[in-house]
Amino acid sequence: MVLPAYIDETTGEITDGEAWVALASTTLSSDTALITFTSPNDGSSKDWSQFMDLVIVWYARGPGSGTQLTYMTMTLNNDTSAGAYPNQFQRGNNNGVSTSSDHAPGPAYQLLAMIPENGHAAGIFAGGVCHIFDINSGKYKSMMAMTAADVNSGGTGESRIDFTMWRNTAAVSEIDIKQLFGSNLETGSRWDLFGVLPRMVS
Amino acid sequence: MAVIEAIATQYLEADAASVTFSSIPSTYEHLQVRGSHRSTGSSGGQAFYIELNNDSGSNYASHTMVAANSNNIGQTTSAQAYIKIYDGIHGSLALGAEYATILMDVNDYLDTNKNTTVQFQMFDAITYSNDVRATFGTGMWNSTAAVTQIKFTPSNGNLTRGSEYTLYGLKSS
């Protein structure tokens, strides 16, 4: 077992080193329907139970032959119950700026992003960052996702920010990412997961 | 050498009027605060204050873009005693397990030739329909002093037990 980075291998003392820990990275070599990250739950340097926050940095392209944007969603701990993910978003596109919320009770997934369908020119992907806060607390978990989805055609692109709360107090131990209706995410799409440590030494 | 270091974490085990990071080291290029917080005040949304270096003079301004249900709102303040963020945190009217969130960057905090500008994203009261807010904003401190202290205060009530803030330092090399 690899010791967490904040434990000195020689002395066993807790130290404060790099606060961001690279946990996992997935780049699709073929079209894939489901991306899953799980905590190893083994007390190692990558065990999610030691982190304050998680951050996902991603670059993705969706299915379909159209030239619209499609839904990339995320669920935590396999929770797909109705109303589990109330949200508020704001976006800007060729129709101006709009905002909306869905919190009564909310969807059964987090909208992680809108990503280009596969009918767009090759090489057009959306990119973004998602922060998941205080993942081991007894709070409902908060998520903030920022997306850049510029498609260079037809005015269908957008930039957006989505704020979502997981209506559950459990520690986060699994993340599942997929297209809303289960279609494949496209080859070349990529997700990098980081754990963010708190201050370890007072 | 670590690029991002956790300088300090404050996790409230009891309600507190405010949280302060003081004696911030001068060994980084930029600062970031990541937080999860809530107020005991009887409110859905309420203002949130950020004060730097214990300066309570009328030296702060802010601009925000806010998503509030289906409404887009732009807000500005000036000559305040703190960076004032309308509905930047929620109080006791939101669900008990729901905490608001703040992600704030303080870039180039040591430069004494520039006034300090901060940038933040925050949201609160997602399930409390009257006051749900998602905010992207900036604040300016009208001083060129290096930032050595950051204080967070809700406008009404205390910060609730379980509120948490971690201050990170970012190095460029």
pLDDT of residue A1: 62
Whether residue A164 lies within 8 A of chain B, CB to CB, comes out as yes
Task: Please check whether the domain covering B4-170 is classified as CATH 2.60.120.
Answer: yes
* Nearest-by-Cβ selection for B127 from A52, A86, A99: A86
Condensed to tens digits (0 to 9), the pLDDT of residues B45-90 reads: 999 999 999 999 999 999 999 999 999 999 999 999 999 999 999 9
Provide the 8-state DSSP code for A46. T
Residues on chain B touching A95 (C-beta within 8 angstroms): none
Whether residue A183 lies within 8 A of chain B, CB to CB, comes out as no
Report, as an integer, the average pLDDT of A37-52.
95
Task: Write the CA distances from B129 to A89, A90, B125, B126, integer angstroms.
Answer: 14, 16, 7, 7
Dihedral pair phi/psi, residue A159, rounded to 5°: -115, 145
Assess whether pLDDT exceeds 80 at residue A51: yes
Task: Answer for the pair A40, A193: CB distance below 8 angstroms, yes or no.
Answer: no
pTM of the model: 0.96
Residues on chain B touching A164 (C-beta within 8 angstroms): 126
Burial of B160 (0-12, 13-18, 19+ CB in 10 A): buried
Contact B5 A142 (CB under 8 A): no
Residues on chain A touching B103 (C-beta within 8 angstroms): 131, 144
Q: Is the peptide bond before B154 cis (omega within 30 degrees of 0)?
A: no
Distance linking the first and last C-alpha atoms of chain B = 8
Whether residue A181 lies within 8 A of chain B, CB to CB, comes out as no
Structure tokens at A191: 């997700």
Assess whether pLDDT exceeds 90 at residue B1: no
Report, as an integer, the average pLDDT of A116-135.
96
Assess whether pLDDT exceeds 90 at residue A12: no
Task: Answer for the pair A141, A133: CB distance below 8 angstroms, yes or no.
Answer: yes
* A2: confidence class by pLDDT, cuts 50, 70, 90: low
Domain ranges of chain B: 4-170
Whole-angstrom Cα distance, residue A165 to residue A167? 6
